[in-house]
Amino acid sequence: MMFDPVSVTWYRRVSLVLAMACLVLMTGTLGAAEKPNILFVLVDDQSPFDLKIYNEKSSLQTPNINRLAREGMVFDTAHHMGAWVGGVCTPSRHMIMSGRTVWHIPDRGMRRLNPNGADPSRVPPNLANNTMAAVFNRAGYDTMRTCKKGNSYDAANAQFTVVRDATKRGGTDETGSAWHAEQVLEYLGDRQDRKDTDPFLIYFGFSHPHDTRDGKPELLAKYGAVNHKDKNVLPAAHPKQPVLPVNYLPAHPFHHGHPGLRDEVKVSGVWEKRDERTIRNELGREFACSENIDIQLGRVLKKLEAMGELDNTYIIYTADHGMAIGRHGLQGKQNLYEHTWRVPFIVKGPGIKAGSRAPGNIYLLDVLSTLCDLAGIPAPKTSEGTSFKPVLEGKQQTIRDAFFGVYCGGTKPGMRCVKKGDWKLIKYDVLDGKVRETQLFNLAQNPHEFIQQHHASQVRALSGSQPSKDQVNLATDPRYAKKLAEMEGLLLSEMRRLHDPYRLWDQPDDGLPKPKLISPKPRPKKNKNKS
């Protein structure tokens, strides 16, 4: 039997079309079978209000971060859940890695700063095997991590196939942020050389802008800052320095409850000072370090684009927590004001509408469940987070109604906050009951959480802010007594739901025993004479 060549060609074409149609039916789309890559970018100590995407008056230049925002989605309400230790980064990073809530994560090493840390009903003994890298390894991903050493979940970090951790807070390429970028670029280059087509998860962490903010000289000069090291003199004033934050105070009206806290009174260049020159110089140092992070992020994005991997990569940019640096008269990260409790959060990737924005109402602990959802793999049963993929797809604006925050790294029980809608409550019970304060804010009317001290004429003259008479702490205003009671009830409910082991002075004790804490053993002093 003879076949006409034209008929054979036609037959082959029809067969090919039918085969491709079957493939589409089986996979949904031709590209659906391809797993997306993930680049998770975590910076150390950055308030969202440092960035122009959250504060249009900021002088910080971050073109690559701005590009992510233009091409992806910005979350306006993203929080860490808090900390039971002075190094807030420790529990925050535990929560990112495990997807678990603040009282359901382990301590580092043998410490017992989290009273629930050794309770197997609160912290699963096999948790490390169900953390970010372990889960993605089992799903066929190549996993790589570079980040600072310490203040993290060591057992979870070790699950990454490639680990290149080091703390780099210097002002050179070798001692600063460029080092972390080099590790990622080298890893990507190696993949390219090996023609590795497996999907990847890269945990791209920085040691900056965490103090000491020893920025690169050219970037320090750009922001009029110097690495100030003399306690006896103030840093020089310079017109290029960032302006004071709008909610700047020369002192907080009451003690934060953590005596001798390093971040508040021992950071080189700041110490206990809160004057205009010191704070503006320190913000300049912060901005110099942040811009360098942006530069290094740009190098990695350029490499991904050159490799043809950018369009199939989800990029998440965030921080482990915010930072005060003069806001409310505070310096560190051990508070629950929005500038410190909130974090910047941007996601760019396949299917995300460019230039979109949503409240989100997410915690950092939601990251693991969301990454699993985006990759099409089951989230571990140990995860307590909620996937915010529906927000990224534009199907929802938020994933929860209420937020809970805690800081009790100092004297117990510490600080607690709760937020729902426009309303936020912060309570302080520290220094053995010497400080017991309540703050109630309507964030729609008072987004900067102005308190009475912000209304002083000398403060307004320095910060340039002009708060209205209603922009104050409303806790003692009888008009808001009902709202105060409602928020107090919500706070107690959240503390119970999340197994908070403490209670504040005006809450029922719920029969909780006073937690017995084991302080960490002092680290042996290094021999400075050792070569």
In 3-state terms, what secondary structure has residue 411?
Answer: coil
In terms of Cα–Cα distance, which of 342, 291, 347 is closest to 321? 342
C-alpha 271/C-alpha 277 separation (Å) is: 13
Question: What does the pLDDT profile of the chain (531 residues) look like in tens digits?
Answer: 444 544 444 445 545 444 444 443 443 333 345 899 999 999 999 999 999 999 999 999 999 999 999 999 999 999 999 999 999 999 999 999 999 999 999 987 656 789 999 899 999 999 999 999 999 999 999 999 999 998 889 999 999 999 999 999 999 999 999 999 999 999 999 999 999 999 999 999 999 999 999 999 999 999 999 999 999 999 999 999 999 999 999 999 999 999 999 999 999 999 999 999 999 999 999 999 999 999 999 999 999 999 999 999 999 999 999 999 999 999 999 999 999 999 999 999 999 999 999 999 999 999 999 999 999 999 999 999 999 999 999 999 999 999 999 999 999 999 999 999 999 999 999 999 999 999 999 999 999 999 999 999 999 999 999 999 999 999 999 999 999 999 999 999 999 999 999 999 999 999 998 765 545 455 555 544 433
Check the CA dihedral 243-333-443-286 and report its sign: positive
Per CATH, the number for 410-497 is 3.30.1120
pLDDT score recorded for residue 33: 52
Angle between helices 63-71 and 276-306 (to 10 degrees): 60
Residue-wise pLDDT tens digits, 104-159: 999 876 567 899 998 999 999 999 999 999 999 999 999 999 999 988 899 999 99
In terms of Cα–Cα distance, which of 210, 286, 271 is closest to 241? 286
In 3-state terms, what secondary structure has residue 82?
Answer: strand
Q: Which helix (H) or strand (E) holds 18?
A: helix 5-27
Q: Residue 399 class from Cβ within 10 Å (0-12 exposed, 13-18 middle, 19+ buried)?
A: buried
Residue type present at position 449? E
Residues paired with 415 in a beta bridge: 407, 428
Residues paired with 302 in a beta bridge: none
What would be the CATH architecture of the domain defined by 37-405?
Answer: 3-Layer(aba) Sandwich (3.40)
Check the CA dihedral 74-76-80-86 and report its sign: positive
The domain segmentation of the chain, as residue ranges, is: 37-405, 410-497
C-alpha 435/C-alpha 161 separation (Å) is: 47
Q: Locate tokens 């789309």: which residue?
A: 29
**Residue 485 in tokens:** 């009671």
Q: Which helix (H) or strand (E) holds 162?
A: strand 162-163
pLDDT score recorded for residue 531: 33
